[in-house]
Amino acid sequence: MQYDIAVIGGGPAGVSAAITAASKGRKVILFEAHGFSPRLRSVAKISDYMGIPDVSGTELMDIFVKHLFQSGTDVVEEKIISLREVGEGFVLGTPTGDYTADAVVLATGISRSTLIPGEKEFLGKGVSYCALVDAPKFKHKRVAAIATVPDALNEIEYLADQVEQVFFFPRYQGFVPPKKKNITVVLDTPTEITGTDKVTGLRAGDDFYSVQAAFVFRASDPLNSFLPGLEIRGRSIYVDDQAETNIEGVFAGGDCTGQPWQVNRAAGQGQKAALSAIRYLGRRDEGINY
C-alpha cells in the first residue's frame, strides 16, 4: 500500500504526528522499534503534563498508544533501517520488508548514550545497528554486541545463532544473562572500536577483544544513520520553524530536534510536523512549487 505519511518513532512525538495526520484523513503508517518510548516509560512520575497530574511514564504512554491504535494508523513494530528517496516519495526499509510513503515524519527521540570512539568511522564497515540484516555477513566470525536496551536480547540471541562467538556488553540495569553458550558476557565499558579499513577489535577495560564486527543496540540510533544526507546540528536534526528538515518531504519533531526534552513539546512538535507534511502533500498535489 502507498501511504501518504510514514512516521518513524512511536514516542509522544510520533504518536501525536500519526493521530494528527490520520484525523485529517491521511493514510498513515507508524514504525516503532522498542515498545513505544522506553525513555518515557523509564520515568516513575510525571507531574507537569497538562490535565493528567502525577502519572507514571508508562501509564501516560499507554494512554497515547491506545489512542494511536484507535486512530486508523497502521502500526508496524519494527525498526526502520533505511530511508531512500525514490521518485517523488520515499521507500522505508525494515529488516523484513519495504514500505512506501509520500512524506516522512522523523520522531526518533535522542540517543542518550554518546557514540563509542570508532563507531561512526566504521559504520557499514563492521559496525551495525541491525543483527537481522547484517549478522549473516559474519558467519563463523567473532563479534561484539553492545546494548543499552534490554529488548535487544532477542536480536543478540539471533546474532549468536549466526556467528561463532558473541562478546556481549550489557549497558543497562536489570540484566538477565542469556542462555546460549557462545555468548560471553563482559561487564566492562567498551571504550573503542578499532580497525583499519574495517573493524578488527574492541577495547573494554584493560582488555582487547579481537572481533570482526560490533553491533550496537540503542533505543534510538545516531540521528542520520538511516538517512545519510540529513542535516544534523549539534545533537539534533535541523528543522526550520515549520518542522521541515533539509530534505524535501521529510519533517521532524520531538526530542530528536532539540531541547527542552519534554512530553508536551514533543507532542506539539509531532503535531506541527504532521500538519506541515499534510500541507506539503496538498501543495505538491496541486502542482504548486513548494
Residues near ligand FAD (CB under 6 A): 8-14, 31-34, 36-37, 39-40, 42-43, 46, 48, 79-80, 107-109, 219-221, 254-255, 261-264, 266
Nearest-CB residue for ligand FAD: 11
Helices and strands (H, E) in the chain, number of each type: 6, 17
Q: Which is nearer to ligand FAD, 108 or 162 (CB)?
A: 108
Cβ-contact 142, 210 below 8 angstroms = yes
At 232, is the secondary structure helix, strand, or coil? Answer: strand
233 φ/ψ angles, rounded to the nearest 5 degrees: -120, 120
Smallest distance, ligand FAD to C-beta of residue 228, A = 14
Per the DSSP assignment, residues forming a β-bridge with 198 are none
Smallest distance, ligand FAD to C-beta of residue 57, A = 6
Q: Which is nearer to ligand FAD, 33 or 145 (CB)?
A: 33
Smallest distance, ligand FAD to C-beta of residue 201, A = 27
Q: Which is nearer to ligand FAD, 153 or 266 (CB)?
A: 266
At 8, is the secondary structure helix, strand, or coil? Answer: strand
Q: Which is nearer to ligand FAD, 204 or 263 (CB)?
A: 263
- Distance separating alpha carbons of residues 213 and 280, to the nearest angstrom: 41
Smallest distance, ligand FAD to C-beta of residue 98, A = 14
Beta strands 183-185; 199-204: pairing state: unpaired
Question: Quick check: bond before 260 cis, omega within 30?
Answer: yes
Smallest distance, ligand FAD to C-beta of residue 187, A = 23
Smallest distance, ligand FAD to C-beta of residue 78, A = 7
Looking at the chain, which runs of residues are DSSP E strands? 2-8, 28-31, 74-76, 82-86, 89-94, 97-106, 127-128, 142-147, 165-170, 183-185, 190-195, 199-204, 207-210, 213-217, 232-233, 236-237, 250-252
- Distance separating alpha carbons of residues 55 and 212, to the nearest angstrom: 45
Cell of 96: 523484513
Smallest distance, ligand FAD to C-beta of residue 217, A = 11
* Angle of CA points 255, 257, 258, to nearest 5°: 70
Cell of 144: 561484539
